[in-house]
Chains A and B, each alone.
Chain A
Amino acid sequence: MLWTPAKTEVTVTKYIALIAALAFSLANAHAQLTEKSYQPVQGEVYPDFVLPSVQNGSRIALSDFRGSKVLLLHFASW
């Protein structure tokens, strides 16, 4: 089989396309992964957060309550 420059060009193009497709699908997989929401896990430390208070806009951090037992309620007013 003869190895011509034209064939090399086609093969290289195919490889580039394959790599691009692979990179795209990996990026997509990552995008899918990162859309996932957080699920609390029993036995794991709950992630700290800092949010404004609805009462006065002051800072509320979960870590401020370390040392106390906490009932954390996530809810909506709608």
Chain B
Amino acid sequence: MWNEAARPFLKSSQLVVLGVVQEQHAERARLYAQWRQYSWPLAQDAVTSLNLASVPIAILIDEHGVVRSRKPRPSGLAEFVNTKFEAPKKPTKSKKFRAEFSDRTVSKVVAAGDKSLMWGQDDAALNDAIKSYARALRQASGRGKILFRLGVAYRTRFDSAGAQPGDFGKAVKNWTAALGADPNQYIWRRRIQQYGPRQNKPYPFYDWVDPAIAEIKARGETAIELRVALSGAETAPPFRKFVMAASDSIEPDPKGRVTRDEGLIAMTWTVVPAKVKAGQPVRVHIRMTPVQGKWNNEGDPLRIWIAKNSIGMTSQRQIEFKNPKEAESDETRVLEFEFSTPARVHKCVIKGYALYHTCVNKDGRCVYRRQDFSMEVPLLPR
């Protein structure tokens, strides 16, 4: 809408368009801009450092830096570009974006974290950002803006080569706490919903990616490659009602006869949101990473079974990961499902196991293994 309206004025150099995108993954924003054919500069604000509570917002700023309209219409652009605005008689001091934290030390520490996160080029800078935000949090406990930033830093490290176990879980935990501190922060709420259950989603979030890539290719261009693959949660359409798994699934190893994994494949999980009220749904992200083995793709696919004695309802009783074409591979596999916690419980536990074929790195033996899990869904006090 704005791109079209601004085009003639951009061409005649009467107007500058500047975009600021709330996006953690720069290449996703780059792909979006390529798809929409934005020719103007686009800045990234991954941590909501500009302290806005919601987007989209369009603002008209005159040649003196003064806001002339904060709710403009595309039809009003011509009048804006053709008006000569007087410079303010008194130089007005602009308000700062940066959150005024309880003291200057905290502000400085947060600023140092922002600098490391936004401008740092390596894992060391990311670790510095995490340290800065954690330090700021110790000095000003419970501050939403710091918690959100810390969540972004953990998620960024999770997506990097320097990922550490639990990074995604820590990101979700901090984002959940940030939203608890300020439930009206639309941008923070969207971040949780991005990875959360379908029942909480207002729309699919990244369903535009595949059509955008197709459209870009049809134009004869090479689409920007996404460094971080989209998770199932990020493209799943919203669904208002929790759909329980069919009850006719047959349990693959009811008597537990399959040999337990001896450390060949590591399993971690993250529950989103990090805490819920009893009766609310969560989305569970299970990650399985080869440690001392490789995936053997010639056998049955990797599958997760959600045990029937789990406390609550599951969206899928059994989740399968489609085998890649190669005979062996060593990628991290992510499997997701949704779980509805019962309304009147104090504790909610999801139990189950994974079954998979793996080949041992040490001696090349190919074996079939089982790995059990029991994950507690943290519940908010009733």
Binding site for B on A (CB under 8 A): 27, 30-31, 33-35, 37-38, 40-49, 51-55, 57, 60, 62-63, 65-78
Within 59-101 of B, Cβ neighbours of A (below 8 Å) are at: 59-70, 72, 77, 80-81, 88, 92-97, 99-101
Decide: A54 and B21 in contact? CB cutoff 8 A: yes
The one of B61, B77, B97 that contacts A38, using a Cβ cutoff of 8 Å: B97
Binding site for A on B (CB under 8 A): 2, 6, 14-23, 26-33, 41-45, 49-53, 55-70, 72, 77, 80-81, 88, 92-97, 99-102, 118-119, 140, 142-145, 181-182, 185, 187, 190, 194, 205-206, 234
Decide: A54 and B14 in contact? CB cutoff 8 A: no
Which residues from chain B contact A57 at a C-beta distance below 8 Å? 26
Which residues from chain A contact B28 at a C-beta distance below 8 Å? 77-78
Which residues from chain B contact A67 at a C-beta distance below 8 Å? 63
Give the CA-CA distance A70 to B15 in the complex, in Å: 6
Give the CA-CA distance A41 to B62 in the complex, in Å: 13
Give the CA-CA distance A53 to B26 in the complex, in Å: 9
Decide: B81 and A69 in contact? CB cutoff 8 A: yes
Q: List 26 A-B contacts (CB under 8 A).
A: A30-B102, A31-B143, A38-B52, A38-B95, A38-B97, A40-B59, A40-B70, A46-B61, A46-B66, A46-B94, A49-B49, A54-B21, A54-B26, A62-B61, A65-B16, A66-B64, A68-B16, A69-B14, A71-B2, A71-B59, A73-B18, A73-B57, A74-B55, A76-B22, A77-B21, A77-B32
Give the CA-CA distance A10 to B65 in the complex, in Å: 59
A71/B63 contact (C-beta < 8 A), A34-B101, A52-B119, A54-B30 known: no
Give the CA-CA distance A75 to B20 in the complex, in Å: 6
Which residues from chain A contact B62 at a C-beta distance below 8 Å? 69
Decide: A38 and B43 in contact? CB cutoff 8 A: no
In chain A, what residue has the closest Cβ to B43?
A: A51
Decide: A75 and B21 in contact? CB cutoff 8 A: yes
Nearest Cβ on chain B to A35's Cβ, whole angstroms: 5
Which residues from chain B contact A45 at a C-beta distance below 8 Å? 64-67, 88, 92-94
Decide: A54 and B67 in contact? CB cutoff 8 A: no
The one of A27, A35, A40, A53 that contacts B42, using a Cβ cutoff of 8 Å: A53
Nearest Cβ on chain A to B264's Cβ, whole angstroms: 36
The one of B21, B29, B69 that contacts A42, using a Cβ cutoff of 8 Å: B69
Decide: B52 and A37 in contact? CB cutoff 8 A: yes
Which residues from chain B contact A42 at a C-beta distance below 8 Å? 67-70
Which residues from chain A contact B94 at a C-beta distance below 8 Å? 44-48
Which residues from chain B contact A38 at a C-beta distance below 8 Å? 50-52, 95, 97
Decide: A49 and B143 in contact? CB cutoff 8 A: no
Give the CA-CA distance A53 to B343 in the complex, in Å: 46
Give the CA-CA distance A60 to B51 in the complex, in Å: 17
The one of A43, A60, A71, A76 that contacts B43, using a Cβ cutoff of 8 Å: A60
